[in-house]
Every structure is written in structure tokens, then in C-alpha cells.
Amino acid sequence: MGGINVIELEIVADHESASARVAGCIVEQVRREPASVLGLATGGTPERTYELLVEKVRAGHLSFSQATTFNLDEYVGLQPAHPQSYHAYMRSRLFGEADFDSKRTHLPDGTADDLAKAGEQYEALIADAGGIDLQLLGLGANGHIGFNEPGATEDSRTRVVDLTEETIAANARFFEARDDVPRRALTMGIATILEAREIVLIATGESKAEAVERAVRGPVASQMPASFLQQHPNVTFVLDEAAASLLGSRA
């Protein structure tokens, strides 16, 4: 197990402020290095961040034309055209709204005949791109990052995972019925995430407060996957006051 580092905390008033701060981190990275390799997340939390980035591009203040992207995960069994696939999420919220080169945007292939091989190929693509410069993460209420659910190991790589009932319930709001929610996903592993040169995690809302507190203050343990981020030398948690509410005066 690697050494323990202090996670940098940026605590702001609300979700809008957190989204603006995270968008600013991505803008700074791409302006500094136009050919950056970005790791991207999906879900409700980063939506506003992506809206702000699209606004920058449309205003002529930012270009992603030279950037390469790798998303954290994709559901197993959903075709890229499915409206709830993460391929569709990224197209509608970012890739199709800004000046990305479609050949440089990547998501795991959850429809592959050989999912294990698809995971290995995804790892090879990341390596061929030179690794991820800046990885954006969200945080599940159970501490998952990507779809690395409790029990994920530090050495895990892109692979198929079974989603917990808690995660399935949380994602049900995006589907017509809970039974429609996929029960498996292809996700980057903990080791893959930790190889990024810089990591920015955004968490907002009271429902994330316990996971934030355990990830930042608790022991590094597989039952709290986000706690592995304590071992990375360059991690920032951008939190609103609600998500940071259990950190106390030590934050």
C-alpha cells in the first residue's frame, strides 16, 4: 500500500460554485496543455461543470480540438445510442456541444463480446495516449469512484463489476423503471484512476457528506473505495458546504 497524503479540500457555498471551480480546473489544464488527456465522469453532479465548459467553447475562450478523453465507465449491455448510455450522456452534454475530435473521445465498450478483453484494450489505449493528465471524479454515497463499488481492490484495472443495490437504486431515477437499470458496468479500476497525474473530485449535497468524511478522514480501506485517493500526491476534493458538513473545523 502506498503512503498517505493529505487530500486538498476546497469548500465552496453550493453546487454552482463547486461546478464553476471544477470547470476552472479543466480550463486551466487545457489552456496550459491543449493536447491534454482528460479523464471524465458522468452522473448528475458534473452536468453543470460540462455546461460551463460548453459555454467557454462557444464564447471562443476554450478549445478541446486537440484534447483526448477517457470516460470512467459504461453500463454493460447498453448500446451507445441508448439514451441512458454514458456514450449518449457525453454526446448530449459535452462532446456534441463542443469542438471535440470524435476520434479522440473514448468510453469503455459495454457491448463487447469479450468484456475482459475490452477492459484490457481500454487500458492499452490509455497507456498509448501517455496516461491521464487530469481525472475528474464524482463520488457515490457508498464511496464508489467510477463504478468501483465497496470491496474494490487497489490493484484493480478496467473490468466488469456488479453494481450494488444502492447504486442501482440511485441510478433508477434516470430510467423508466428500476428493472431497466443495468446491473453491471465496465469501469476503470482503482489502479487506473490513481495513475492519473492530477485528480479532482466533485461532491455536493448532504447525501455525500458521510462518504466525503470517510474518504478524507477514515482509514484507507476497500470498503470505502474513495479512501484510496489518500495515497495520491495530487488530489483535490471540491465540495459544497453540505458535502463538507461532517469534516468539522479540521477541514
Amino acid at 165: E
Neighbours of 116 (CB within 10 A): 12
C-alpha distances in angstroms, 1 versus 29, 178, 187, 221, 228? 29, 38, 22, 10, 9
The interaxial angle of helices 47-58 and 15-32, nearest 10 deg, is 50
Active site residue 142: yes
Task: Name the active-site residue from 74, 149, 195, 213.
Answer: 149
Would you put residue 43 in left (φ > 0), alpha (ψ -120 to 50) or beta? left
Q: How many angstroms separate the most distant Cα atoms in the chain? A: 51
Active site residue 232: no
Rounded distance between C-alpha atoms, residue 127 and residue 79, angstroms: 25
Active site residue 106: no
Task: Name the active-site residue from 15, 71, 73, 109.
Answer: 73
Q: Which of 100, 32, 25 is nearest to 70 (CA)?
A: 100
Q: What is the DSSP letter of 179?
A: G
Alpha helical stretches, state H, the chain: 15-32, 47-58, 86-90, 115-128, 165-171, 190-194, 209-217
Task: Name the active-site residue from 15, 71, 123, 144.
Answer: 144
Q: Which of 224, 220, 201, 200 is nearest to 211 (CA)?
A: 224
Active site residue 144: yes
Q: Which residues are catalytic?
A: 73, 142, 144, 149
